[in-house]
Chain A
Amino acid sequence: ILNVEQSPQSLHVQEGDSTNFTCSFPSSNFYALHWYRWETAKSPEALFVMTLNGDEKKKGRISATLNTKEGYSYLYIKGSQPEDSATYLCALLSSNTGKLIFGQGTTLQVKP
């Protein structure tokens, strides 16, 4: 059974703090890793799709790294803002099933 784990489950930070969270996944059958940002009452919005070991992607203050050999990805947010408050989901695209398996998400709350 493919299991994608995210930690921590929730995080409360002050505006301006930098933060990071983890996504762990089985390294066998890896095809791609997705990060999504999910605000309440909206649909998940794609942030990054990563495929190569050592990949690093950046969008504004948000960046992500990928280690396919050890099976983890980190998402970093530099200088958190209240508008960053959301649930951040990672999802593994498996090479042998072709389906996206999601972690439980990390819910970030940024206090002004």
Chain B
Amino acid sequence: NAGVMQNPRHLVRRRGQEARLRCSPMKGHSHVYWYRQLPEEGLKFMVYLQKENIIDESGMPKERFSAEFPKEGPSILRIQQVVRGDSAAYFCASSGVGDIEAFFGQGTRLTVV
């Protein structure tokens, strides 16, 4: 049973480009969380999704950021028109229905140049 897989591990984008970050949850898990770690800061909640539903997106910036978790395939965090301030490590975690434990992926480090 593979753990939570995130790809790519490192992503470099120029200002104005789009960034797509992927998260494949553990087998059997239907809940995904996305977190962002800005330099010198802790983990900040962004969005909580279940399959085909966004449950809580209170931590998502209002513009340029979107997330989805389709019925088939990985969860995608999409950042349009990236700016330097988007440079951060983005982590996802997954859990199963009724589980109280969440498992993390290795993270994607986004650098905007």
Q: Which residues of A contact B (CB under 8 A)?
A: 31-32, 34, 36, 42-46, 49, 51, 89, 93, 97-105
Contacts and interface: CB of A to CB of B under 8 A. Distances in A.
Given A43-B4, A49-B100, A99-B56, 15 more contacts: A31-B100, A42-B106, A43-B104, A43-B106, A44-B43, A46-B101, A46-B103, A49-B101, A89-B43, A97-B48, A97-B56, A98-B56, A99-B48, A100-B102, A105-B42
Interface in B18-61: 31, 33, 35, 41-45, 48, 55-56
Nearest to A2: B45
> For the complex, would chain A's binding face be called helix, strand, loop or mixed by DSSP majority?
strand
B101 A34 contact: yes
18 contacts: A34-B100, A36-B104, A43-B106, A44-B93, A45-B104, A93-B100, A98-B31, A98-B48, A98-B56, A99-B48, A99-B55, A99-B56, A100-B93, A101-B45, A102-B35, A102-B42, A103-B42, A104-B42
A105 B41 CA distance: 9
Contacts, number: 53
A102 B103 CA distance: 14
**Residue in A42, A44, A103 whose Cβ sees the most chain B Cβ within 10 Å:** A44
Contacts of A102: 35, 42-45
